[in-house]
């Protein structure tokens, strides 16, 4: 899944770089090759460094993969096109399984092969879409019940308070001084996780600054309860979080969120 972004970036990069160096094709081959590689690396490196900041093995494997692509003979291109599609399909199936869908690789491949070989899977495309819609509705109902149960369990714990918005908060350490307002910028440390405990975002030890009013409503409301030096735990229902849209692959639709937040300072 980590390399999915790099694969997409690589496809876009080659087109952009080709345009940039088109005028240099009369230059010596080594210079043109170096220029092209430098431009491509400029596009690829930022994403690579974010995902593998100190992994020399991954760096070497990535470049080896590019070198292998260069060595593909025309007769093998169809196979490698299938391989590229397979990597994307695999990533999508991994995400679907994380959302609760039960998908067997062997059964999936058997049905796919049957259709592409000119046969059928026993379902029409419309049948398949209706079936997947029904599964999605069932999983959504089950997930909503789990989120509701999670929030109810937190609300029942001693020391957890509930506000009219639905926000739950727990004071771990109380701070001192003024509360931030919606118009303030704050400096914080935080870790965010889902109801199942999976961490989707963390600052670790690297403090970040952002405007209070630029956040999801539940996080903004929680920050305005705090004082500098304080640490709170916030339990945010989806209605004042990311709602039914979710956020990328890490935060599913309808997810309740748990944030442990330390307010370091109100930036003046």
Q: What is the pLDDT of residue 25?
A: 47
Residue 33: CA count within 13 A, CB half-sphere: 3
Q: What is the pLDDT of residue 53?
A: 75
Residue 161 belongs to some domain of the structure: yes
Residue 139 belongs to some domain of the structure: no
156 and 101 fall within a common domain? no
DSSP output for 171-230: EEE---SPPP-TT-EEEEEEEEEETTS-EEEE-TT--EEEEGGGS-HHHHHHHTT--TT-
- The boundaries of the domain holding residue 7 are 2-116
166 and 110 fall within a common domain? no
Residue 143 belongs to some domain of the structure: no
Which residue reads 């088109």 in tokens?
22
18 and 95 fall within a common domain? yes
User: Who's near 8: CB < 8 A, 6+ residues apart?
Assistant: none
Q: What is the pLDDT of residue 217?
A: 96
Give the pTM. 0.64
9 and 66 fall within a common domain? yes
Residue 233 belongs to some domain of the structure: yes
Ramachandran angles phi, psi of 171, nearest 5°: -85, 115
Q: What is the pLDDT of residue 28?
A: 57
Q: What is the pLDDT of residue 66?
A: 85
The CATH number given to whatever domain includes residue 193 is 3.10.50.40
99 and 164 fall within a common domain? no
Residue 144 belongs to some domain of the structure: no
Which residue reads 């009013």 in tokens?
213
171 and 88 fall within a common domain? no
6 and 85 fall within a common domain? yes
Mapping DSSP to helix (H, G, I), strand (E, B) and coil, where does residue 121 land? Answer: coil
| Count of domains forming the chain | 2
Separation between Cα atoms, residue 196 and residue 199, nearest integer Å:
9
Q: What is the pLDDT of residue 24?
A: 45
In angstroms and rounded to an integer, the radius of gyration of the C-alpha atoms of the chain is 25
Nearest to 48 by CA among 58, 35, 34: 58
Quick one: how many helices (H) and strands (E) in the chain?
A: 7, 7
Structural domain ending residue among the three candidates 98, 116, 134 = 116
77 and 28 fall within a common domain? yes
Residue 100 belongs to some domain of the structure: yes
55 and 161 fall within a common domain? no
Return the bridge partners of 262, or none: 189, 231
Residue 121 belongs to some domain of the structure: no
Q: What is the mean pLDDT of each run of 10 residues along the chain (268 residues)?
A: 45 46 52 84 83 80 86 82 92 88 94 92 94 93 93 96 97 96 96 93 92 95 97 97 87 93 93
183 and 96 fall within a common domain? no
Residue 131 belongs to some domain of the structure: no
Separation between Cα atoms, residue 137 and residue 134, nearest integer Å:
5
């Amino acid at each position: 899944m980590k390399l999915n972004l790099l694969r997409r970036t690589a496809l876009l990069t080659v087109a952009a770089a080709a345009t940039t160096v088109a005028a240099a094709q009369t230059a010596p081959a080594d210079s043109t090759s170096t220029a092209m590689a430098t431009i491509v690396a400029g596009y690829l490196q930022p994403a690579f460094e974010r995902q593998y900041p100190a992994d020399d093995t991954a760096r070497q494997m990535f470049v080896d993969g590019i070198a292998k692509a260069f060595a593909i003979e025309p007769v093998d291109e169809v196979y490698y096109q299938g391989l590229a599609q397979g990597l994307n399909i695999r990533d999508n199936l991994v995400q679907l399984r994380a959302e609760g869908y039960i998908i067997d690789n062997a059964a999936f491949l058997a049905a796919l092969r049957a259709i592409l070989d000119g046969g059928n899977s026993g379902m029409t495309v419309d049948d398949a879409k209706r079936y997947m819609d029904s599964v999605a509705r069932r999983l959504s109902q089950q997930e909503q019940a789990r989120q509701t149960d999670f929030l109810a369990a937190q609300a029942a714990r001693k020391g957890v308070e509930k506000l009219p918005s639905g926000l739950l908060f727990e004071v771990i350490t109380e701070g001192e001084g003024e509360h931030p307002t919606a118009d303030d910028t704050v400096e914080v440390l935080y870790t965010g996780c889902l109801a199942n405990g999976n961490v989707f975002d963390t600052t670790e030890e690297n403090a970040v600054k952002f405007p209070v009013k630029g956040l999801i409503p539940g996080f903004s409301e929680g920050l305005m309860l705090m004082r500098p030096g304080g640490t709170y735990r916030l339990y945010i229902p989806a209605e004042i979080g990311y709602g039914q849209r979710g956020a990328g692959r890490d935060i599913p639709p309808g997810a309740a969120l748990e944030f442990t937040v330390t307010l370091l300072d109100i930036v003046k």
